[in-house]
Amino acid sequence: MFRLEARTSTPAWFNLALPLVAIATTLILCSGLIAVTGAGVIEAYGVMLSASLGDSYAITETLVRAAPMIFTGLAVAIAFRAKFWNIGAEGQLLAGAVASCFVGAIPMPGYLAMLLMALAGAAAGALVALVPATLRVKFKVDDVVSSLLLNSVIYYALMALIEGPWKDTFSGYPISPPIEDSANFPVLIEGTRLHLGVVVALIAAPLCWFLIARTTLGFRIRVTGENPEAARYGGINVQRVLLSTALLSGALAGLAGVGEVGGVHFQVMSDISPGYGYSGIVVAMLARLNPLGVMPAAIFLAAVMTGAEAMSRATGVPAFLSDVIQGTALLAMLVALLFTAYRIRRVGASS
């Protein structure tokens, strides 16, 4: 007989082992889908790996795609640490993209433009995230639903802008005017798309780790999430912590949008984010809400996305496999997390 038993503590190696188990499970489950198409499983995954991490150009492409997911992953991880259920990273990203594109279109010296784009994008994302947080703090409105619904509001607002007053007059498509050339984020390695924003994302992760693990605000965020009663008893203004968390989380998600505008698309279109906000939830969960873990988790998802396109060309397996992998990885990780709360014990027939 086996039974589940509550765990009091979890060993540190779980942080690494659980996501790896979840990812391995996901890849095994999804190999069934590859087999259904008639393609070779090893071959398909092989192409996926080599096309995403096989050479230096592929690695830069994967990093470019990882950058927005590092930001949204950090946004979700920090929010979830405080148990502020921010499902709205997608909308916050879009708001950040719009605001930074507005600023980037104003003629001014390049580096000043980039700085102001980042500030405007972060502020826009933070403002959007402040809505569900304020509603929760002031009116006890469920943040899960309100932050989710705001995504649709922001999306339609963006569409109204680029199909209406903000539409690029030189384009037949609903697309915003481009930012100034001088505001385009510098490319770090010639011949690739690796832009300055990617480096900022890679630096943001350890900074967020430091903030969560080593600062007073980080401590407050953790205590508020783990035990709001104790936090209150200890003199922490829980409501204020929730609002600060929302500002921080929204700003990070906004920065994801800034990077896409400044470094990849240079303008705003309806599909500027293929769901990076939702992917952020997958990233954060795989990272066990640890900002340092967000980096590898985002790079993993980015590699799957980049690799899936090449795999599709080479083997005919639809590239949408990457979407299935993303969803499966999230569900597998959630199940794996059960092992942090419970352990399976073998018990004798007598007990």
Question: Nearest distance from residue 245's CB to other proteins, in Å?
Answer: 17
**Binding window for other proteins (CB under 8 A); candidates: 10-18, 149-157, 197-205, 249-257:** 149-157
Min separation Cβ 161 and other proteins, Å: 9
Whose Cβ is closer to other proteins: residue 115's or residue 347's? 347
Best CA proximity match to 242, nearest among 163, 318, 132? 132
- Residue 34, CA distances (Å) to 258, 301, 307, 327 in order: 36, 18, 14, 16
Binding-site string for other proteins from residue 248 to residue 287, where x marks contact by CB under 8 A and - marks none: ---------------------------x--x--xx--x--
Q: Is 139 in the site for other proteins (CB under 8 A)?
A: yes
Please state, as a whole number, how many other Cβ atoms lie within 10 Å of the Cβ of residue 76: 31
Identity at 99, one-letter amino acid code: A
Any idea which residue has 């409105």 for tokens?
A: 141
- Separation CA 89–CA 280 (nearest Å): 7
Our CB check for other proteins shows the closer of 103 and 131 to be 131
Nearest residue to 205 (alpha-carbon basis) of 343, 299, 315: 299
Q: According to CB under 8 A, which residues from 112 to 131 bind other proteins?
A: 131
Alpha-carbon gap, residue 325 to 304, rounded angstroms: 8
Specify whether the CB–CB gap between 128 and 92 falls below 8 A. yes
- Judged by CB under 8 A, the residue of 28, 149, 207, 230 near other proteins is 149
Decide whether 247 or 308 has the Cβ nearer to other proteins: 308
Question: Any contact of residue 153 with other proteins (CB under 8 A)?
Answer: yes
- The rounded distance, in Å, linking the Cα atoms of 220 and 226 is 10
Choose the binding region for other proteins from 7-15, 94-102, 104-112, 160-168 (rule: CB under 8 A).
160-168
Query: What is the bridge-based pairing of β-strands 2-6 and 342-346?
Result: antiparallel
Query: Please, is 337 exposed, middle or buried when counting C-beta atoms within 10 Å of its C-beta (0-12, 13-18, 19+)?
Result: middle
> In the set 112, 160, 213, 344, which binds other proteins (CB under 8 A)?
160
Binding string, 22-41, against other proteins, x = CB under 8 A? Answer: -----------x--xx----
The tokens 């790896």 sit on which residue? 20
74 or 321: whose CB is closer to other proteins?
Answer: 321
Name which of 32 and 107 has its Cβ closer to other proteins: 32
CA dihedral 10, 15, 21, 22 (to 10 degrees): 110
> Which stretch of DSSP H or E encloses residue 344?
strand 342-346
- Shortest approach of other proteins to residue 222 CB, angstroms? 18
Q: Which of residues 79-98 bind other proteins (CB under 8 A)?
A: 85, 87
The token duo for 33 is 């889908």
CB–CB of 201/69 below 8 Å?
Answer: no
Among 129, 148, 242, 297, binds other proteins (CB under 8 A): 148
- What is the pattern of x (binds other proteins, CB under 8 A) and - over residues 316-335? --x-xxxxxxxxx-xx--xx
The residue to which tokens 């930001």 are assigned: 71
Between residues 135 and 292, which has the closer beta carbon with respect to other proteins?
135
Closer residue to other proteins in complex, CB, 80/266 = 80
Work out which of 115, 142, 186, 203 binds other proteins, going by CB under 8 A: 142
Cβ-based nearer residue to other proteins, 26 or 184: 26
Q: CA dist 124 to 21, 151, 158, 251, 311, Å?
A: 37, 13, 13, 7, 37
Round the CA-based radius of gyration of the chain to a whole number and report it.
Answer: 21
Question: Using CB under 8 A as the criterion, which residues of the chain lie in contact with other proteins when the complex forms?
Answer: 33, 36-37, 85, 87, 131, 135, 138-142, 144-146, 148-153, 155-157, 159-160, 163-164, 275, 278, 281-282, 285, 318, 320-328, 330-331, 334-335, 337-338
